[in-house]
Structure 1
């Protein structure tokens, strides 16, 4: 061991130590900066509203991702970019910028080319079977991997938004019943939920931004349901649009929808709890039962084999 350490150049050891110290320093600074930012947000909550407005009013053309998308759009086939299904899925996942479809298409192309090459390089050359299996797995991962990751990101974001809708409706009811207008109530709820449910807060702020820009409120609310893809919000938007057209009480509609969504959330949790026992059968049958059979039946089987051997002699 000492001989192996003596053969390593001192410059390489110094480089490794420097990299480790640099990584630790970056991690420490990132954690300290995040704690400082969280503390400032708790002390001055208006800073979060300012940051939210800055994100909504950011010029996409000035960002680095848009410049990269413009460069990629000039060099990629048009058919790979204009994919409406992936476009809506990207919006559901939170990537609603104009550069998102182009960058995602580039990621799919790079993944389809690079992952099979890496699988071929890492596969053993002396075993043709494992080489073929590695190539097939690399091709499948390269083609289906980005789409699977995107679907997962969209599903997780929709779940987070779905969990925050009943709380947001309760806050909307309180604001509306206190005499606040609907637009002011929505922006107030977006400001209060920015630390707890940032995705839902950004979507609410988008509604107010579009209404202030001159878009009709019903279209802005329909855009909220379309951008999130959450069925609960689609039902809520339909009720709010119908209430605004008929002139009925918006507070009563919000309260009824909040109770309905909370009941649905509890039923969904009960359903998942009931499905847990069924889902546990397969891991038990594959991993636990064979081990139990080996422990219980193994000694008896060894004894039976030994006795049969003695009888055969």
Structure 2
């Protein structure tokens, strides 16, 4: 057995195979750190790819939304709708500066939304009146009420149809203002970072519009429109004032006034933006604290109506079962 082992070890072919195996192992062991990927580098690469994908999806969504809005603003008006509005001169009768500002705050710009708004304010009262007449007189609703009450219900339905477009625009404007107000402090922080890094205000607004779309598409749209107005308007002050008018927020108005003063007197924009960003963030925090403080009074009635009866049933239920089984408490 020993002779066989010694013969095998001293065999030249075995020695060559052993040396080749050792050389291969040493080569692999030496090259393994270079071939293996750095975990931190791989993670950073994955994060960068994910960020690029998120930006690409967000930009595609913003582009689709902008195309949809652009098509909605530029599409052909109905000839009959426009003719009716022009013949009855509804713009002079129903449109004032407050109505135009409300439409702008709601995101409706141009002549097409205004024409539709006036047309529906003209048509919906008759629609509501017809529906109320069918419901009351044809279907026999309110049979016990006198004729005066039935006519009054029909008039109320027509009046509601007249103000239904106003309610829709108001609701749309409120939701849009809330969306812009929630994302405005973050937009100011991003603008401050861009300005302090050496970017111009136009490039900063464009950059912020690309990044803030994930939080508020409405704010991104307004910033893009402001950037376009800064490019072609003769007075940059008008672009800032238009932004404040379209949003209808005091926080935005304060920032635009600071930008106008910076443009006029050459004062640094970064310090003003920092102060205004802190104020906007504090205002948002105060609004959240106000809502939180209003929760206890709002929860009182639901607790009395829903929680307490269930609690009493859970506590007194076994006692009631015992009394029903035994006929007494003892």
Q: TM-score, normalised by structure 2?
A: 0.66
- Which residue, out of 283, 287, 305, partners 1:264? 283
Instruction: Map 1:189-228 to 2 at 5 A.
Output: 189-228=208-247
- Aligned partners of 2:256 and 2:205: how far apart in 1? 13
Q: 2:295 is paired with a residue of what secondary structure? A: helix
- Inter-CA distance 236–224: structure 2 relative to 1 (3 Å threshold): same
What's the RMSD between the two structures over aligned residues? 3.2
Residue by residue over 1:258-312, the C-alpha shift from the partner in whole angstroms, topping out at 9 and shown as x without a partner, is 111000111011112222333455x559x839x96xx99xxxxxxxxxxxxxxxx
Q: Out of 144-153 and 185-194, give the one that drifted further.
A: 144-153
Name the counterpart of 1:188: 207
- Inter-CA distance 273–134: structure 2 relative to 1 (3 Å threshold): same
Equivalent residues of 1:108, 1:143 under 8 A apart: yes
The answer as to 2:180 corresponding to 1:161 is yes
- Aligned partners of 1:131 and 1:175: how far apart in 2? 64
- Aligned partners of 1:56 and 1:210: how far apart in 2? 18
Instruction: Map 1:284-303 to 2 at 5 A.
Output: 288=305
Any unmatched runs of 5+ in structure 1?
1-38, 297-313
Instruction: Map 1:66-215 to 2 at 5 A.
Output: 70-78=82-90, 79-123=92-136, 124-125=140-141, 126-129=143-146, 131-132=150-151, 134-215=153-234
Equivalent residues of 1:80, 1:105 under 8 A apart: no
Equivalent residues of 2:128, 2:160 under 8 A apart: yes
Give the drift of 1:86: 1.5
Give the drift of 1:127: 3.1
Name the counterpart of 1:273: 292
- Aligned partners of 2:72 and 2:165: how far apart in 1? 27
Q: Structure 1: which 4+ aligned runs deviate by more than 6 Å?
A: 55-59
Equivalent residues of 1:86, 1:101 under 8 A apart: no
Any unmatched runs of 5+ in structure 2?
1-51, 314-330
Equivalent residues of 2:185, 2:280 under 8 A apart: yes
Q: 1:75 is paired with a residue of what secondary structure? A: helix
Equivalent residues of 1:194, 1:201 under 8 A apart: yes
- Aligned partners of 2:53 and 2:94: how far apart in 1? 41
* Number of equivalences: 252
- Inter-CA distance 67–193: structure 2 relative to 1 (3 Å threshold): farther
Q: 1:99 is paired with a residue of what secondary structure? A: helix
Residue by residue over 1:186-235, the C-alpha shift from the partner in whole angstroms, topping out at 9 and shown as x without a partner, is 01111222343111111111111112113322110011001111111001
Equivalent residues of 2:240, 2:256 under 8 A apart: yes
Give the drift of 1:69: 5.6
Give the drift of 1:54: 5.1
Higher Rg of the two aligned structures = 2
- Aligned partners of 2:294 and 2:59: how far apart in 1? 43
Residue by residue over 1:88-127, the C-alpha shift from the partner in whole angstroms, topping out at 9 and shown as x without a partner, is 1111111112222221111112121111221221233533
